[in-house]
Structure 1
Amino acid sequence: MTIDNDAVVPAGKTVRTAAEVRRVGLAGGIGTLIEYYDFALYGYVSTIIAPLFFPSKDPVASLLSVLAVFALSYVIRPVGGIFFGWVGDRFGRRRALMVTVIGIGLANTAIGVLPTFAVAGVLAPVLLLIVRLAQGFFAGGEVGGAATVIAEAAPPGKKARYGAFTPMGTNFGFAVASAAVGIVSGVLATEQLNSWGWRIPFLVGLPLTVVCYLARRMLPDIDQNVKLGKHGFPLVAALKTYPGALVKATALGIGVQGAAYIGSTFISIYLVTNLHYAKSPVYWITAGATTVAVVLMPFTGRLADRIGALKVGAIGLVGYAVITYPAFLLMDLGNLGIAALGYVLVMVNMAFLQVASYTVTPQLFPDEVRYTGTALATNVSVVIAGGTAPYIATWLVKSTGDLRSPYYFVATTCVIGLIAIVAMWKRFTRTAPALP
């Protein structure tokens, strides 16, 4: 197989029309949008809900507690990935993706109606954790599944430009979530926001879920060209037969997730909590910086189809490693406009790295274990370097007193990602058919 997207269509595969491929891409992207809208909301309102669910005399201790729940919700994601990978690889991609989008949306809406500590006492943070774990379980099968069906539907030579729909969805989810929080924080008084206004963006997730569900109901037969597994458990087959692919995909994912979650989740917390910028403009800056990355992704997708996805991924990793530290310096100058520039400089790299990752990873596995392999690698890397990123970065700043210390976390994950790319570079060529 190849990850460079220029091979002939494998024998026995039905060629889809351009309209069908676009529908698959859009439905996959919309699903990942609702997933990351839900997860991003929690991160963006963390400074608001921390004292509501984890009251403490030390505001940083409250924030760390609410971020710990953020991280724990990611621990369950590999379990969801394994379960929905089994469903997708044995019984069909459509069935798995319909369930995940409903589960994510309902769990997100539930957060908007949870009682706070003042009302329910210790039960409040317990319920918050339960709902977040449920959300993580369903989310574990979403983004890997979306990347899988898009990779299978996209024609040779155009894998990356269609593969870009997945990260466009995830990042636009971050942008919409940030904008939603920016609206309520800008319209409502601080007391109203802290009392009930923070719930509104979570409740808005319900109609978004309905839209995603309907989009997927109208999909063409996404299992048409897929050779589903007939026997055994796909996780066992993936671990036994493709351990090298799982390790490489996970290592690349660590590079992606570590850098991405610092940019998409931590920096907004950092600008408010550590640099004391006002909440509302920070949320809008976050939405704007993320949207810049989304707008660039169709172009980086086309670039990846021309020069190879691994090269584009390397550009993104090197960019993160080189730019993030100077960007932190710019953010600390006390000027919100300059801080926004630093934020955008960080997020531009996401357009390169995520498009490459979501194009490459599904191509490492054959049909029978592709959903499982992609979901497992994606979710394990998220657990290691994604969901933990805001907590680790906040802890680093608190422990060291160095406002730039989160950079070292980013640099470490980038090195791991580059090692994975080098390992893949040696093995794959441009001569064999993709997605056999």
Structure 2
Amino acid sequence: MSAGDDATVLSGEDDRDLSDPDRTSVRTPTEVRRVAFAGGIGTLIEYYDFALYGYVSTIIAPLFFPSDDPVTSLLAVLAVFAVSYVVRPLGGIFFGWVGDRYGRRKALVVTVIGIGLANTAIGLLPTYAVAGVLAPILLVSIRFVQGFFAGGEVGGAATVIAEAAPLGKRARYGAFTPMGTNGGFAIAAAAVGIVSGVLATDQLDTWGWRIPFLVGLPLTVVCYIARRALPDIDQNVSLGKHGFPLLSALQSHPKALLQATALGIGVQGAAYIGSTFVGIYLVTNLHYARSPVYWITAGVTLVAVGLMPFTGRLADRIGSLEVAAIGLVGYAVVTYPAFLLMGVGSLTLAALGYVLIMVNMSFLQVASFTVTPRLFPDEVRYTGTALATNLSVVVAGGTAPYVATWLVRRTNDLRSPYYFVAVTCIIGLIAVATMWKQSRRGGRSQ
């Protein structure tokens, strides 16, 4: 039996961290809230930055990848979106090493600064008309840098919140991580909605798209201040003083890594279809007007965020694995009918279909960000959580908009992105089933 087996997440009332069940009890409620807030706002900045690129993709596609075929330009921009995720596991490994060996605070402060500065740089880039081929090269380079820093962010935030949260309240505090990520999506959609509604099309296409990227800089400063003011988040953590956490995670906890990555594939595949692709789909494939689509995206995302405190409490009551299963089954059942509603031609029905998809996110993401850090002991928790999260994002998250757009073009079936969602949900359910079986054996593999 490995140490990783002793850190296995359980379901239902058996809510304990077997790596050390008493370490989180020393924090005051105020300290826990400060840690949860700082973790959540960092993920908000990360996903604001990353979501912006997806939301402005239909605007910047011809600016950086001019082509006679607008779909070709869009696919090129979405390929950059996907490629930027490839480097995220490297960022997760590096910042996981920093966080597990030298302290969580150091890693979390550096990641949010790097993400914010890279995001601002995108807003300052010259376009193809000004710089020629250098423009897309710079865009790809900055997205790589942004992806590297982002690789250490969300896994680190989930880790520190999991370590601070008290027994019986882990999911409700764990909800701060997905509330931050999806809050970032919502604010990004609102920011693009504002500029697209206020500015004329030619203004938006020439300089207006830059404004939301530049707004990210003051948000980064706010997050930096919040994280610098954190209580000592490393005081009760056994930091690894010897060796490399990645090797330890791979050698001693391969099952936990596989389970967390498979669950993450279910989470990311479904979530990125909802949070990133659907907005593109409504504008490009169904030809709804841009501005209302951005506002609908912001609104339905905020609905999901608003439900997360309640799904967190539900997970603390009935178990995180049970809530994860509800979310995965929900995605698999409602996504196809939701795409049918979107294709009717009514923006109201399209919004309803969007809500049906996004509601499931409030179940699945809260459960996932609660479960994943608890699969690993604290000396490799940052590395394990970051690596699994980023591998799943590479496989099913960053690729989702590209694959979904390609499927529609290849099959001429506007509902074909559903099959991508279905496959990722099945993978996620398999992971949940294995953890369920493990938890029924007292959290230990036989």
Q: Same fold (TM over 0.5)?
A: yes
Deviation >6 Å, runs of 4+: none
Q: Aligned partners of 2:105, 2:68: CA distance in 1, in Å?
A: 48
SS in 1 for 2:345: coil
Which residue in 1 is equivalent to 2:415? 404
Q: Aligned partners of 2:313, 2:236: CA distance in 1, in Å?
A: 24
Q: How high is the TM-score relative to the length of structure 1?
A: 0.98
1:332-376 Cα offsets, whole Å, 9 max, x none, are 010001100000010000000000000000000001100000000
Q: Given residue 261 of structure 1, which amino acid in structure 2 is its aligned partner? A: Y
Which residue in 2 is equivalent to 1:197? 208
Cα RMSD after superposing both structures: 1.3
Structure 1 position 428, deviation (Å): 1.7
Q: Aligned partners of 1:47, 1:230: CA distance in 2, in Å?
A: 48
Q: Aligned partners of 1:71, 1:218: CA distance in 2, in Å?
A: 34
Partner of residue 75 from structure 2, selected from 64, 78, 81: 64
Which residue in 2 is equivalent to 1:77? 88
Distance 1:12 1:291, change over 3 A: closer
Q: Aligned partners of 2:247, 2:122: CA distance in 1, in Å?
A: 35
1:243-275 Cα offsets, whole Å, 9 max, x none, are 000000000000000000000000000000000
SS in 2 for 1:202: helix
Conserved 8 A contact 1:14-1:225: no
Q: Aligned partners of 1:303, 1:10: CA distance in 2, in Å?
A: 21
Listed as ranges, the matches of 1:338-353 within 5 Å are 338-353=349-364
Which residue in 1 is equivalent to 2:10? 3
Q: Aligned partners of 1:163, 1:139: CA distance in 2, in Å?
A: 19
Q: Aligned partners of 2:396, 2:56: CA distance in 1, in Å?
A: 21
Conserved 8 A contact 1:6-1:430: no
Q: How high is the TM-score relative to the length of structure 2?
A: 0.96
Conserved 8 A contact 1:3-1:430: no
Q: Aligned partners of 1:22, 1:337: CA distance in 2, in Å?
A: 37
Distance 1:76 1:406, change over 3 A: same
Listed as ranges, the matches of 1:41-52 within 5 Å are 41-52=52-63
Which residue in 2 is equivalent to 1:279? 290
Structure 1 position 297, deviation (Å): 0.1
Partner of residue 255 from structure 1, selected from 263, 266, 269: 266
Q: Given residue 98 of structure 1, which amino acid in structure 2 is its aligned partner? A: V
Unaligned runs of 5+ in 1: none
Listed as ranges, the matches of 1:332-343 within 5 Å are 332-343=343-354
Is it true that 1:291 corresponds to 2:291 in the alignment? no
Which residue in 1 is equivalent to 2:256? 245
Conserved 8 A contact 1:160-1:355: yes
Which residue in 1 is equivalent to 2:137? 126
Is it true that 1:413 corresponds to 2:424 in the alignment? yes
Q: Aligned partners of 1:432, 1:375: CA distance in 2, in Å?
A: 22
Comparing 423-432 with 4-13, which one deviates more in the overlay?
Answer: 4-13
Partner of residue 437 from structure 2, selected from 410, 413, 426: 426
Identical-residue share of aligned pairs (%): 80
Q: Aligned partners of 2:21, 2:367: CA distance in 1, in Å?
A: 22
Q: Given residue 219 of structure 1, which amino acid in structure 2 is its aligned partner? A: L
Q: Aligned partners of 1:10, 1:359: CA distance in 2, in Å?
A: 15
Which residue in 2 is equivalent to 1:166? 177
Structure 1 position 7, deviation (Å): 3.9
Structure 1 position 224, deviation (Å): 1.2
Q: Aligned partners of 1:158, 1:414: CA distance in 2, in Å?
A: 26
